[in-house]
């Protein structure tokens, strides 16, 4: 919609009027009235989005990304599709698993997954880990994952506050995975999580986080976190950035890490 609104602004008024005349002749009144409604509504929607964006930047309102809203929304989500509604294609998912998960996650050890949802990535993580703990702000996700993976004997799930890891022991984690979660968490809460990564990571532990990069400017219910802010806040806490990318090429095909210019950042806690 954004593209359509921006592109049509470049057409001068007299051309728009002659285009409207052709449209009326070729499509009739009902179609044209519907088009006019769509045209006006999309312009209004674009202006409303810009106003919301301004409010977030000027007054730091949390938008759709507060802990309370994340909890309320994800506790009422219908998890029957298992989170696969966010998988654009099977080849994309295979590439994320092979290039990102297998490529950067160490084998064995204790894995922490933040926001497992209905376990779209959890089964794969459990297969590689010695043990996995999933922390999610939503009690319904914890229930779904416990039912799906509890019998493996390798996985436990707990409800978290949404910005700390108080249930996780200090220096106990070898690797962290979080996909499609930090895209929804505002910077202030990401900063608190990053403090916790420092506490719970063992020296040398790896973190892999999928997150937003443009502070919500492209929509998609993304948080105010930007790419620069994410890299800065990790570096400030002493983490080394291993890689940070919007797209990657696997077996000859280039894939986006996500929609709305999302990024995957891989970071490491230095050896003591």
Ligand X SMILES: C[S@@+](CC[C@H](N)C(=O)[O-])C[C@H]1O[C@@H](n2cnc3c(N)ncnc32)[C@H](O)[C@@H]1O
Contact residues toward ligand X (CB under 6 A) are: 67, 70, 74, 83, 86, 114-117, 120-121, 136-138, 141, 160, 162, 179-181, 184-185, 189
**Three-state DSSP class for residue 239:** coil
Q: What's the token pair of residue 53?
A: 């964006």
Closer to ligand X at the Cβ: 35 or 260? 260
Alpha-carbon gap, residue 62 to 11, rounded angstroms? 36
Residue 219: CB minimum distance to ligand X, A? 15
Q: Where are the beta strands (DSSP E) in the chain?
A: 110-114, 131-136, 155-159, 173-178, 201-211, 240-245, 247-250, 253-256, 263-268
**CA 4 vs CA 8, 156, 217: distances in Å:** 6, 47, 16
Closer to ligand X at the Cβ: 120 or 268? 120
Residue 44: CB minimum distance to ligand X, A? 28
Closer to ligand X at the Cβ: 39 or 221? 221
Around Cβ 259, how many Cβ atoms within 10 Å?
15
| Helix, strand, coil tally for the chain in percent (to 5) | 50, 20, 30
Q: Taking Cα atoms as reference points, which of 168, 150, 151, 169 lies closest to residue 159?
A: 168
Question: Which residue reads 């794969």 in tokens?
Answer: 124
Residue 167: CB minimum distance to ligand X, A? 12
Closer to ligand X at the Cβ: 183 or 217? 183
Closer to ligand X at the Cβ: 63 or 115? 115
Alpha-carbon gap, residue 144 to 83, rounded angstroms? 12
Closer to ligand X at the Cβ: 96 or 205? 96
**Three-state DSSP class for residue 90:** helix
Closer to ligand X at the Cβ: 174 or 189? 189
Q: What is the largest CA-CA distance in the chain?
A: 75
Would you give the DSSP letter of residue 139?
Answer: H
**Residue nearest to ligand X as judged by C-beta position:** 117
Residue 133: CB minimum distance to ligand X, A? 12
């Amino acid at each position: 919609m954004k593209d359509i609104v921006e592109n049509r602004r470049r057409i001068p008024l007299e051309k728009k009027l002659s285009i409207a005349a052709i449209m009326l002749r070729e499509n009739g009144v009902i179609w044209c009235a519907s088009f006019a409604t769509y045209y006006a509504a999309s312009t209004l929607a674009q202006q409303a989005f810009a106003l919301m964006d301004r409010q977030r930047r000027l007054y730091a309102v949390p938008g759709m990304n507060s802990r309370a809203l994340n909890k309320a929304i994800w506790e009422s989500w219908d998890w029957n599709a298992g989170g696969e509604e966010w998988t654009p294609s099977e080849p994309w998912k295979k590439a994320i698993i092979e290039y990102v998960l297998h490529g950067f996650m160490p084998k064995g050890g204790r894995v922490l997954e933040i926001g497992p949802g209905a376990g779209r990535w959890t089964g794969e993580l459990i297969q590689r880990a010695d043990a996995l703990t999933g922390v999610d702000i939503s009690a319904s996700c914890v229930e779904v994952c416990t039912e799906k993976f509890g019998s493996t004997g390798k996985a436990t799930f707990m409800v978290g506050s949404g910005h700390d890891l108080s249930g996780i022991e200090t220096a106990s984690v070898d690797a962290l995975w979080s996909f499609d979660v930090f895209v929804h968490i505002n910077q202030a809460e990401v900063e608190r999580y990053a403090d916790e990564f420092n506490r719970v990571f063992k020296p040398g532990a790896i973190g892999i986080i999928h997150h937003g990069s443009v502070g919500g400017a492209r929509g998609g219910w993304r948080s105010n976190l930007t790419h620069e802010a994410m890299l800065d806040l990790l570096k400030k806490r002493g983490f080394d950035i291993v890689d940070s990318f919007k797209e990657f090429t696997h077996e000859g095909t280039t894939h986006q890490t996500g929609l709305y210019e999302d990024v995957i950042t891989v970071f490491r806690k230095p050896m003591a």
